[in-house]
Structure 1
Amino acid sequence: MNFKNLIHFLTELNKNNSKEWMDANRKWYKEVRDDYISWLDKMDLALAAIDDQYYSTPGKKGINRINNNLMFHPNKPIYKDHFGAGLDKRPNTGDFYVEIGIEQSMLAGGFWRPVPKTLRSIRDAIDYDGEELKKILNKKSFKETFGDLVLDEKLKSAPKGFSNDHPHIDLLRNKTFAVLHSFSNTEVLQEDFEQKVIKVYQEMLPFRRYLNKAVTV
């Protein structure tokens, strides 16, 4: 995968974020996109080899559109400043998100502001066995890789059906249950980047499995 070419393309696109520029550079865009899809296919096979529960997700299925959704975000530029994709995309579960951007890239997983039914299922799991989730979140290697949960809005008090003195109230008040690990461009361009992706995937796996079990059982 020529990540240097991908980052160069995104840098130029960010300077000239218009349909006219994209149309004039459509061949370059397709070249970069196809290269990224091929790399996703490679990672799809690599992750399947280390995870017996992995849900095969070819690059074409996993890759996200580069266009921003201007209907809901009219003030955003036409095109994103990154290439994003989801792997291990089993239906109705949280996938493993891979984003390569201009200044930094990231791997993320979990649920970002899930729908009420899904959020309730996660909270019910925490109510039943929150200690298991805390054990995952507080593991030394997990902390070193992700820090804490992604910072997002939290309820000011206990969600409906739970008390303010619940032993896991800090977790229950979350609206988002996700973690992320960032990479610099220098790291992305290094030869061992794929191995680092696999290592982060493995570290995140218990967290994702806990959440996926909560929303599917």
Structure 2
Amino acid sequence: MGTPISMSSFEFLEKLKQNNFREWMQENKKEYLANEKDLKSFYSEVLAGLNVTDEIAKMKVYRINRDIRFSKDKTPYNTHRSVSFSRAGAHRRGGYYLRLEPGNSMMAGGFFGPNPADLLRIRKEFEMDASEIREILNNSEFQEAFNGFSQDYAVKTAPKGFSKDDPNIDLIRLKSYFVVHKFSDTEVFSEDFKEKLISYYLLLRPFFDYMSDVLTTDLNGVSLLND
């Protein structure tokens, strides 16, 4: 089954939420490091699981230290732990994400804040023909797991150069294309959490394969990659 998430990691994050200052962290650094070691072991097992059916170029464990330079919130530490897995090669697009937080754990995957060229290419594809992406989104397993793209990042009406009356404006107006599935603490602590997590990542593959094809071709379907 693999290494389950330890309750102690969430207990530490709960305490950190109540004591979010550097002195407390220094006093409890040993506990923090022990939990980090266990979490990184779990992340590595997830990485191995993803590599069975995909090819991952990089695993990024996000720092617990917050970037407070431009934030009104000056608390120094994140009260969640997160990791992402980047796919290998220019022909493989999309990324996997995991956030562990008491009462707010989730996995996500897709295209968060794509660069302007990629965003325009995606929107143009949907303007021309959105039947394939809708088929993916309407797949019963995909829909049950994710319930469509996150709607948190979108323009109010229509992006410049697109009609607000376009039949696919619900897709075109989005600025990111990713999906989310939330987990209860009970699920996170279960023995089969890693298997459940990877099963949700696997559901993303038709979406990733489609978007990879879109982002590596022009509107005529001609490859943009060098042979």
Instruction: State the partner residue of 2:119.
Output: 119
Report whether the alignment pairs 1:104 with 2:104.
Answer: yes
Instruction: State the partner residue of 2:169.
Output: 169
| 84-93 vs 165-174, which moves further | 84-93
Instruction: State the partner residue of 1:82.
Output: 80
- Of residues 13, 19, 24 in structure 2, which corresponds to 1:21? 24
| 207-216 vs 117-126, which moves further | 207-216
Task: Give the C-alpha shift of residue 32 in structure 1.
Answer: 1.1
Which amino acid is 1:139 matched to?
N
What is the root-mean-square deviation of aligned Cα atoms in Å?
1.9
| 177-186 vs 69-78, which moves further | 69-78
Q: Tell me: CA distance 1:180–1:76, structure 2 relative to 1, closer, same or farther (3 Å).
A: farther
Instruction: State the partner residue of 1:211.
Output: 211
Could you tell me whether the CA contact under 8 Å between 1:62 and 1:89 is conserved in 2? no
SS of equivalent residue, structure 2 residue 83: strand
Give the Cα–Cα distance (whole angstroms) in 1 for the partners of residues 215 and 70 of structure 2: 27
Could you tell me whether the CA contact under 8 Å between 2:145 and 2:200 is conserved in 1? yes
SS of equivalent residue, structure 1 residue 162: coil
Task: Give the C-alpha shift of residue 128 in structure 1.
Answer: 3.8
Instruction: State the partner residue of 1:35.
Output: 38
Which amino acid is 2:62 matched to?
N
CA deviations 1:148-205 (Å, max 9, x no partner) are 2112142233322323332312100111211100000001111111110111011122
Which amino acid is 1:62 matched to?
K
Instruction: State the partner residue of 1:12.
Output: 15
Gaps of 5+ in 1: none
Task: Give the C-alpha shift of residue 91 in structure 1.
Answer: 7.0
Which amino acid is 1:9 matched to?
F
Q: Tell me: CA distance 1:26–1:212, structure 2 relative to 1, closer, same or farther (3 Å).
A: farther
SS of equivalent residue, structure 1 residue 181: strand
SS of equivalent residue, structure 2 residue 37: helix
Give the Cα–Cα distance (whole angstroms) in 1 for the partners of residues 160 and 172 of structure 2: 10
Task: Give the C-alpha shift of residue 124 in structure 1.
Answer: 2.4
Gaps of 5+ in 2: 218-227
Give the Cα–Cα distance (whole angstroms) in 2 for the partners of residues 153 and 40 of structure 1: 28
- Of residues 52, 68, 71 in structure 2, which corresponds to 1:70? 68
Report whether the alignment pairs 1:132 with 2:135.
Answer: no
Give the Cα–Cα distance (whole angstroms) in 1 for the partners of residues 131 and 9 of structure 2: 42
What does 1:189-204 correspond to in 2, within 5 Å? 189-204=189-204
Could you tell me whether the CA contact under 8 Å between 1:110 and 1:211 is conserved in 2? no
Give the Cα–Cα distance (whole angstroms) in 2 for the partners of residues 110 and 43 of structure 1: 17
Give the Cα–Cα distance (whole angstroms) in 1 for the partners of residues 137 and 68 of structure 2: 36
Task: Give the C-alpha shift of residue 36 in structure 1.
Answer: 1.2
Task: Give the C-alpha shift of residue 146 in structure 1.
Answer: 0.6
Which amino acid is 2:24 matched to?
W
SS of equivalent residue, structure 1 residue 88: strand
CA deviations 1:33-58 (Å, max 9, x no partner) are 12111111111111111x1x42243x
Give the Cα–Cα distance (whole angstroms) in 2 for the partners of residues 184 and 124 of structure 1: 37
Could you tell me whether the CA contact under 8 Å between 1:153 and 1:174 is conserved in 2? yes
Q: Which has the higher contact order (CA 8 A, sep 6+)?
A: 2
TM-score of the superposition, structure 2-length normalised?
A: 0.85
| 26-35 vs 112-121, which moves further | 112-121
Instruction: State the partner residue of 2:184.
Output: 184
Task: Give the C-alpha shift of residue 111 in structure 1.
Answer: 2.1
